[in-house]
């Protein structure tokens, strides 16, 4: 440790969620710092596969205060465009982001929280954790997985189909990443790709994109706020947004899901009916868990690796807010357009706490 510093609020994570929180704290006149483990702006968007595009147009993918400009020639912007937008956003609002700084642990220290990093410690009256999920890929347990001698990678390591030229590849997972990566590979004629899912994939109607999903999340929030029955949120509509490459691969008959295999062998996989297939690579598009290990010292863990919250506020530690991890930290809060609302609520509650 080289130092010990003080501020009113520490925001952990400088992706879109951390920036949205910074925007609202700044408006409320609160002092804060944003600590981000990456060397450059953009959070997880810096690490996605080459062909990834947003599932909503630019105008519907904006953080508070500043509309995302359209990307010339693209209705749905690519990840590089998002990275540029986030870099511009933090400059425009002069958000105090320190990089690269990794938070190792958050500890209670009398009336303050001590945020221990790989370079120094910060003391703050409140903390917002906005560390995302990209950094904790999830792989399910499948018998024989360790015996498989081919390549295994997760969504977070996939970049482009050319790497798999001439190979037999299995893509596992019935969500957006699985469908998009299977489509990316299937549209490249040099790859022999099989897409497997645990249950039949549920495509959203072709005219539904992120805009409609946001509307549904908003309606759900309104219903819950007014004490009406839960409308079920976006999951009730389906799992997979039919973005243009997914639609193309599906319409060309290249995107037909097969049931999940039941075990691995050294050179491939075996299905429930005992049939074996040779495989060179398996790409696990099986989701993420929230990256919360830095909060372990606070002892707040609830079910499924989540921390129980009321809105964004941790129930077991009212000085801690969690932002952007999924619907459990606010409807649509794990999206560009959705996180602003939860960030505003978190910042408002913290300003109130600081005044008290
Ligand atoms: P991140 O972008 O992950 O940022 C978190 C930051 O915290 C990172 O910079 C990380 O390095 C840092 N960090 C982590 N741990 C620490 C630590 N201990 N100390 C310091 N810093 C730390 N949303 C949309 O709105 N539209 C889309 O089209 C869309 N497509 C998606 C496609 C994919 C494949 C995925 C996975 C998600 C998509 N999302 C989309 C959802 C969401 O917008 C992104 O996941 C987004 O990156 C979440 O932003 P975040 O700021 O919460 O987390």
β-bridge mates for residue 278, sequence order: 268
- What does the CA dihedral 34, 36, 39, 40 come to, rounded to 10 degrees? -60
Q: Which atom of ligand 1 is nearest to the CA of 35?
A: 20
Contact at 8 Å (CB) between 269 and 263?
Answer: yes
> Within a 10 A sphere around the Cβ of 64, how many other Cβ atoms?
18
pTM, two decimals, is 0.94
247 CA → ligand 1 middle, Å: 25
CATH 3.50.50.60 domain locations along the chain? 4-136+289-355, 145-203+239-284
Q: With a 6 A CB cut-off, is 63 part of the ligand 1 pocket?
A: no
CATH superfamily of 4-136+289-355: FAD/NAD(P)-binding domain (3.50.50.60)
Q: How far is CA 270 from CA 28, 193, 221, 265, 283, in A?
A: 58, 16, 44, 7, 16
Cα–Cα distance between 120 and 98 in angstroms, integer?
12
Cβ–Cβ under 8 Å, residues 307 and 289: no
Confidence check: pLDDT of 2 > 60: no
d(C-alpha 1, C-alpha 4), whole Å? 8
Our answer on whether the CB atom of 46 is closer than 6 Å to any ligand 1 atom is: no
Q: What is the pLDDT of residue 303?
A: 81
What pLDDT does 233 receive?
66
User: Mind listing the pLDDT tens digit for each residue in 223-277?
Assistant: 877 878 776 666 666 789 889 999 999 999 999 999 999 999 999 999 999 999 9
Within the chain, strands assigned E span: 4-6, 9-12, 32-35, 97-98, 103-109, 112-117, 121-124, 126-129, 151-154, 168-172, 192-197, 257-259, 263-265, 268-270, 276-278, 281-284, 309-310, 313-314, 317-322
Homologous superfamily in CATH for domain 145-203+239-284: FAD/NAD(P)-binding domain (3.50.50.60)
Minimum-distance ligand 1 atom for the alpha carbon of 336? 25
Question: Is residue 89 helix, strand or coil?
Answer: helix
Starting at the edge strand found earlier in the chain, the sheet holding 4-6 runs 4-6, 121-124, 112-117, 103-109
User: Which residue, 64, 30, 52, is CA-closest to 323?
Assistant: 64
Cβ of residue 93 lying under 6 Å from some atom of ligand 1:
no
What distance in angstroms lies between residue 251's CA and the mean position of ligand 1's atoms? 30
Q: Residues 235, 218, 64, 121: is their CA dihedral positive or negative? A: negative
pLDDT band at 1 (very low <50, low <70, confident <90, very high): very low
CA angle, residues 317, 318, 322, in degrees to nearest 5: 80
Centre of ligand 1 from the C-alpha of residue 18, in Å? 10
Residue 154 CA, ligand 1 centroid: distance in Å:
16
334 lines ligand 1 (CB under 6 A): yes
Going from the Cα of 128 to the center of ligand 1, the distance in angstroms, rounded, reads: 15
Confidence of residue 300 (pLDDT cuts 50, 70, 90): very high
């Amino acid at each position: 440790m080289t130092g010990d510093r003080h501020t009113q609020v520490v925001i952990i994570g400088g992706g879109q969620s951390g920036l949205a929180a910074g925007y609202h704290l700044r408006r409320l006149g609160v002092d804060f710092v944003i600590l981000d483990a990456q060397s450059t702006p953009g959070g997880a968007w810096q690490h996605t596969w080459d062909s990834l595009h947003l599932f909503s147009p630019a105008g519907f993918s904006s953080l508070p205060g500043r509309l995302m400009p359209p990307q010339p020639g693209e209705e749905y912007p690519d990840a590089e465009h998002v990275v540029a937008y986030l870099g511009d956003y933090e400059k425009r609002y002069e958000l105090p982001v320190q990089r690269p700084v990794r938070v190792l642990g958050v500890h209670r220290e009398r009336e303050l929280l001590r945020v221990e990093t790989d370079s120094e410690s910060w003391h703050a009256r409140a903390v917002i954790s906005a560390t995302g999920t990209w950094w904790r890929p999830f792989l399910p347990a499948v018998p024989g997985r360790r015996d498989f001698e081919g390549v295994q990678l997760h969504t977070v390591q996939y970049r482009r189909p050319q790497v798999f030229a001439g190979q037999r590849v299995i893509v596992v997972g019935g969500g957006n990443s699985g469908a998009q990566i299977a489509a990316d590979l299937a549209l490249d004629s040099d790859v022999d790709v099989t897409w497997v899912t645990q249950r039949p994939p549920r495509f959203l109607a072709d005219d539904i994109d992120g805009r409609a999903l946001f509307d549904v999340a908003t309606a759900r929030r309104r219903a819950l706020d007014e004490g009406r029955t839960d409308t079920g949120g976006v999951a009730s509509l389906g799992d997979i947004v039919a973005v243009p490459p997914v639609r193309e691969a599906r319409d060309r008959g290249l995107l037909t899901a097969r049931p999940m295999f039941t075990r691995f062998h050294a050179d491939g996989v075996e299905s429930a009916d005992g049939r074996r297939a040779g495989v060179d690579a398996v790409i696990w598009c099986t989701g993420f868990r929230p990256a919360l290990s830095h909060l372990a010292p606070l002892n707040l863990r609830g079910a499924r690796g989540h921390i129980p919250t009321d809105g964004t506020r941790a129930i077991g530690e009212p000085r801690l807010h969690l932002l952007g991890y999924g619907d459990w930290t606010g409807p649509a809060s794990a999206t560009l357009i959705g996180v602003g609302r939860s960030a505003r609520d978190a910042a408002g509650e913290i300003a109130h706490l600081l005044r008290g």
